[in-house]
Amino acid sequence: MKRKIAILGSTGSIGVQTLDVVEQHRDIFEVELLTANNNVELLAAQAVKFKPNSVVICNDGHYGALSALLKDEDVKVFAGADSVVELVRILNVDIVVAAMVGFSGLRPAMEAIRSGKAVALANKETLVAAGALVTKAAKENNVPILPVDSEHSAIFQSLQGEKASVEKLILTASGGPFRDAGKDEIYNAAREQALKHPNWNMGAKVTIDSASMMNKGLEMIEASWLFGMPAEQIEIVVHPQSIIHSMVQFSDGSVKAQMGMPDMRVPIQYALSYPYRLDLNTPRVDFPKIGELTFQAPDMERFPALSLAFEAHRAGGNMACIMNGANEAAVNAFLNGRILFGKIPEIIEKCMGKCSFLKNPSLEDIFQTHLQAVRTAQDFCR
């Protein structure tokens, strides 16, 4: 039987690549729901091609334009974030690809879990902001959370078939565009420089996070929740070639790594087809051409955002949510030319010291914490 898929954030980088995987396996996957925030034209084109049951444009100001583009199609058109949550709940879907940007992905991901639907998680902020609540809900509803991030998929794949105890998780990082840059150069970096990732083609927000290495901090927190591993047993290693996507070290000293060319379609397809592997038209690794694989420790002084993520996770409670909200607001301010790149971690640190800390937050507390962190960061950005 075909696996029915909902793609939340279908016009973003992950969403587009997910649809490419679906295109290569039309006999296995069927699209039921597509959502986007603002990209009306691309969402309409995807709906015409893949014939989902429903589409949602989250910005309801674009509802008329989307409806007009799809008036001759047998596709239901909705608008608003509430529609995404409602359709995730009621549609007959086997797996929900959670690829919405930032904190906005939390509510629909939780609804998918509560509805008993498997979640292919590409939105790391969901676990960063509310990891304890999300993993508890997944356990209570017997719902798998299948990692889509290349690093977490690599760990997930390396753990398959293993019964030995895990000593350490090793997350690899490309180092981003400023891997070899000096501290002053990083602090004053221009928008165009920060958006020029050497290995991966990603959306603006995650690319900026990669440049500050906050992305690796978010991934550390996500890995901790996904695999039940404390921060002390998660190591970050800079690996410029991005061929080894992450590793697992076991209690006997053995290390398993998942390798491949930098192509997000591989972890996307593995999440959709798990526990099976399917053929995929992607570039193959040419080891002689690559020549060497190198590794180095990250520089916490040049990339203070990474140390802030470890600090937030160790604090527990809603601190990681504060950090995440502040980061989203600061990154947005940088992308819109309101602050320097080096101000991003400074603003995050200020928010972590100013916002209200809660040791055992409810889901409603998490939503309120995010709002407070965003507003506080916006005030600092001014």
**Strand order across the 166-173 sheet:** 234-238, 166-173, 244-250, 255-259
Q: CA quadruple 223, 229, 232, 233: dihedral positive or negative?
A: negative
Report the alpha-carbon distance of residue 167 to residue 138 in Å, rounded: 25
Contacts 24+ apart (CB under 8 A), 104-110: 104/58, 105/8, 105/9, 106/130, 106/134, 106/366, 107/81, 108/8, 108/84, 109/134, 110/134, 110/137, 110/363
Q: How confident is the model at residue 128 (pLDDT cuts 50, 70, 90)?
A: very high
Average pLDDT over residues 92-119: 95
- Summarised one tens digit per residue, pLDDT across range 334-373 is 999 999 999 999 999 999 999 999 999 999 999 999 999 9
- Over residues 28-51, the pLDDT tens digits come to 999 999 999 999 999 999 999 999
Structure tokens at 219: 């991934």
Angle of CA points 32, 76, 143, to nearest 5°: 30
Q: Which tens digit of pLDDT belongs to each residue from 129-181?
A: 999 999 999 999 999 999 999 999 999 999 999 988 999 999 999 988 999 99
pLDDT tens digits along 277-322: 999 999 999 999 999 999 999 999 999 999 999 999 999 999 999 9
Contact 262, 241 (CB under 8 A): no
User: Could you tell me the pTM of the whole model?
Assistant: 0.93
Between 84 and 382, the higher pLDDT residue:
84
